[in-house]
Amino acid sequence: MTLRAAALAVLVIYACTLAGAIQAFFSTSTNIRENSTFTPVGTLEVLSESAFTTLVHPAFPAYGVRLKKSQFCDGAVNAYTGYIDIEARHLFFYFFESRNDPDTDDVIFWTNGGPGCSSGVGLFMELGPCRVHNAENGTVFHPESWNSNANIFFIDQPIGVGFSYADYGEYVSTTEEAAQDIAAFVAIFFSHFDKFQGRGFHMAGESYGGRYLPAFAAAVYDQNAYLVETGMPPINLSSVMIGNGMTDVPTMMLGWYEMQCTPASIPPVQDIQTCIQMKARLPRCTKWLKESCHDVFDLINCSTAMAFCQASLMEPYVALGLNNYDLSKKCEGNNHCYTVMEEILKFLNRKDVQLSIGVDVTQYESCSSTVALAFGRLQNDLLHGSTEYVAALLERDIRVLVYVGSYDWVCNWIGNEAWTLALEWSGHAEFAAQPLREWTVDGKRAGKTRSARALTFATVDGAGHMVPYDKPKESLEMVKRWIAGKPL
């Protein structure tokens, strides 16, 4: 296996029961302290630019939130940065108010994937209020940011990602563990700033976010009963938005063949002889993945099947030297194939930038191999997938949008469409019966979509893995319509 194949293998395998976990968490917090004094901060305007304000709540005694003003990136709106402190663990985040009406607009939570990749990538490369093209020149205004009509968080999670860290080497190695921290943070933030209470709350992200987000949203939803019991405002969880998600890895892997060898996106990029060899292995790959990963989960056999399919379907693609996240382009720069990510890395390692946003650590990495290892080989988190969480959320009328750039190879639209069509929920038959139809922006086709009840699937033409980066106008219009409850 080549070095690049090995690197991509780590990225895919690691990158692209909650009830018990939540019960355990609540059991440590059942001393609600109803008579404890709780004084909310009340308004973001009182926060200082020179020092952190700490937010706490007696219902979450192990958690605190440090927050400060950080006037950078988008001078037209208020910006804040801070840390979610979970005893000796610390998660870094950014928060930007809406450019439209922060007092009434919905709230979006954004996380990048990996596992182990910083949401600084989403902020400074994709959908944030500013972008970084050159580290020395700093940021430039991004007119198609998703904060055009929404307040938005960007969070470096889990521990060890980006500017997040632990005092004594602690780490989180499963999505369900990470979900507890996110749910507690959301509750504390909304309890302190009453103007956001009751707002529509949308959990969004991409790539390994397809594994994270359904579990995170389930934790937020299930936690609401506890919030009501403690006298805290429940979170108005409105939707989940999964971009090019690695929600169900076995299904995604089977799409690798079609993306290389058929005109599913662009004309076939693989030579005929290689495609014939790949197709000969496809039935065995399909059978093993179904039997060992889907029908009955068997860790050893599922891992073996995925290794076989990876070698059969991924390595031939890697040998082409194409971008793992956009099969219409050659890979450039580092293993992520985007030189702009190197500029973001340099920018966030500038001392003046770190001083401005108030970070505790001085060495920033876009993606952490340590976190990837913890989620991958140590806990096999990715093998479990999150389709069951998606189904459970849909049954509770939480809307779910699965959008995919048509040029993405690693988390392709073929695989994402397949798992949404196969998903077991009460709206399955209705959703599967819907044909794909075109959706448009300014009268021009932007992609195809299918929708029934609370579930929507959509492709974005000409976009790769990072849809807001490749198609900022179309992605913003998609989000605006989605938040407003309008069809694409």
pLDDT digits (tens, 9 = 90+) for 354-389: 999 999 988 998 888 888 877 776 567 877 889 999
Q: Are 438 and 447 in contact (CB under 8 A)?
A: yes
Question: Which segments of the chain have a pLDDT < 50?
Answer: 1-36
pLDDT of residue 13: 38
CA distance linking residue 19 with residue 466, whole number of Å: 32
pLDDT of residue 164: 93
CA distance linking residue 93 with residue 157, whole number of Å: 9
CA distance linking residue 371 with residue 447, whole number of Å: 34
CA distance linking residue 275 with residue 270, whole number of Å: 6
pLDDT of residue 37: 64
Report which of 16, 408, 457 is spatially closest to residue 249, judged by C-alpha positions: 16
Q: Are 417 and 258 in contact (CB under 8 A)?
A: no
CA distance linking residue 56 with residue 69, whole number of Å: 18
pLDDT of residue 444: 97
> Angle, nearest 10°, between helix axes 18-27 and 175-192?
50
pLDDT of residue 378: 57
Q: Are 318 and 310 in contact (CB under 8 A)?
A: no
pLDDT of residue 303: 85
pLDDT of residue 114: 84
CA distance linking residue 122 with residue 128, whole number of Å: 7
H or E element, residue 273: helix 272-289
What three-state secondary structure class fits 480? helix
Residues with catalytic function: 207, 408, 465
pLDDT of residue 140: 94
What residue type is assigned to position 272 of the chain?
Answer: I
Number of H helices, E strands in the chain: 17, 17
How far, in whole angstroms, is CA 185 from its chain's centroid? 17
